[in-house]
């Protein structure tokens, strides 16, 4: 019987990986009888459910820092955890460094396409990946468990919006250089009678507004700096465009499919696992992007028809319950 588990985060960001751990630990503490702990930098304390035991550790030190490894080993021994579950490359490196000092069974989750590599990953009792593409370059056996979203809050919306009747595209990525949003604006300049909603903010906003004016598309671009409204816009837009490059399983894709919003994406993460081929991008070159968007938006009834089976599959597979139950099954098999 699983009674005592802990998760380890050693990152510096608040992205998909951190959301994954927050959601998974909350589900575990609410739906099982196990004591659930999270070891992480103090900045993550407020992101966790109050019933999850938080164990602070300054993971900003180098993974080679002797006090970091020593403190983690002491925390794992003191907790008496049956399972220690590390998320991401640095967590895997730290768990590997303390293996000889603890009795916990160790699990790792690979959240992107690069790390942890096979040489390190082979040292663990069980391995999870958030998408098939994340482990396409691996020769090891992995449990592929996609990210899932908590659908318990998907109730009748209190706020809806009505967009213009012309085809519209939603982009919900942060406005930074590496996001490729400038290429989306250049693609928009090739398209006629299509509007774009940029639902986020970031340091590139002023440059993008200037580029929009230079390209003559500024009247067709809306900057909405409130990502909290993403569900509302997903329900109203024709198509969500995901220009992500190497994310393992972006939550924006999952949320869109559960909101029954069609998606066009690069081949990053689990997009290839769920999206029809016509809605996968080979690159973000403006001409290629414009042609793909033109075809997708030419017939909005066909667009919805193409995605009907995708929405149903997402409803079955991409929920937090599904993700957490599959993860719990991995734990259970380890302790048999």
Beta strand extents in the chain (DSSP E only): 4-9, 35-40, 53-56, 83-87, 105-110, 126-129, 143-144, 168-171, 195-198, 221-223, 239-242, 263-266, 280-281
| pLDDT mean across residues, the chain | 92
- Please write the tens of the pLDDT for every residue from 298-326: 999 999 999 999 999 999 999 999 999 99
- Beta strand pairing call for 4-9 and 83-87: parallel
End-to-end Cα spacing for the chain = 9
- Whether 118 has a pLDDT exceeding 60, the answer reads yes
What is the homologous superfamily of the domain 4-148+319-334 according to CATH?
Answer: Glycogen Phosphorylase B; (3.40.50.2000)
- Please write the tens of the pLDDT for every residue from 77-116: 999 999 999 999 999 999 999 999 999 999 999 988 667 7
Q: pTM score, two decimals?
A: 0.90
- Please write the tens of the pLDDT for every residue from 205-249: 999 999 999 999 999 999 997 777 888 899 999 999 998 766 556
- Please write the tens of the pLDDT for every residue from 123-158: 999 999 999 888 888 999 999 999 999 988 655 554
What is the homologous superfamily of the domain 153-317 according to CATH?
Answer: Glycogen Phosphorylase B; (3.40.50.2000)
Domain definitions of the chain by residue range: 4-148+319-334, 153-317
């Amino acid at each position: 019987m699983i009674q005592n588990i802990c998760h380890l985060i050693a990152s510096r960001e608040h992205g998909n990986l951190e959301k994954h751990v927050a959601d998974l630990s909350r589900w575990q503490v609410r739906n099982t009888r196990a004591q659930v702990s999270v070891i992480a930098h103090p900045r993550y304390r407020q992101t966790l459910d109050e019933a999850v035991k938080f164990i602070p550790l300054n993971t900003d030190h180098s993974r080679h820092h002797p006090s970091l490894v020593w403190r983690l080993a002491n925390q794992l021994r003191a907790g008496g955890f049956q399972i220690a579950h590390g998320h991401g490359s640095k967590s895997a490196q730290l768990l590997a460094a303390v293996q000889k000092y603890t009795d916990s069974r160790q699990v790792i989750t690979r959240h992107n396409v690069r790390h942890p590599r096979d040489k390190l990953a082979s040292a663990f009792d069980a391995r999870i990946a958030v998408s098939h593409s994340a482990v396409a370059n691996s020769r090891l056996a992995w449990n592929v468990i996609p990210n899932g979203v908590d659908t318990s809050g998907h109730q009748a919306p209190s706020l809806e919006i009505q967009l213009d009747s012309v085809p519209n595209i939603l982009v919900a990525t942060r406005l930074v250089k590496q996001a490729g949003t400038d290429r989306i604006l250049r693609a928009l300049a090739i398209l006629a009678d299509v509007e774009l909603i940029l639902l986020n903010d970031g340091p590139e906003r002023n440059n993008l507004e200037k580029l929009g004016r230079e390209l003559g598309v500024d009247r067709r671009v809306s900057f909405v700096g409130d990502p909290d409204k993403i569900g509302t816009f997903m329900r109203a837009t024709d198509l969500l465009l995901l220009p992500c490059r190497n994310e393992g399983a972006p939550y924006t894709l999952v949320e869109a499919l559960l909101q029954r919003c069609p998606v066009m994406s690069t081949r990053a993460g689990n997009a290839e696992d769920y999206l029809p081929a016509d809605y996968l991008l080979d690159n973000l070159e403006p001409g290629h992007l414009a042609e793909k968007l033109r075809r997708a938006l030419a017939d909005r009834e066909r667009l919805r028809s193409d995605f009907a089976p995708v929405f149903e599959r997402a409803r079955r597979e991409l929920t937090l319950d599904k993700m957490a139950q599959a993860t719990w099954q991995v734990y259970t098999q380890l302790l048999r």
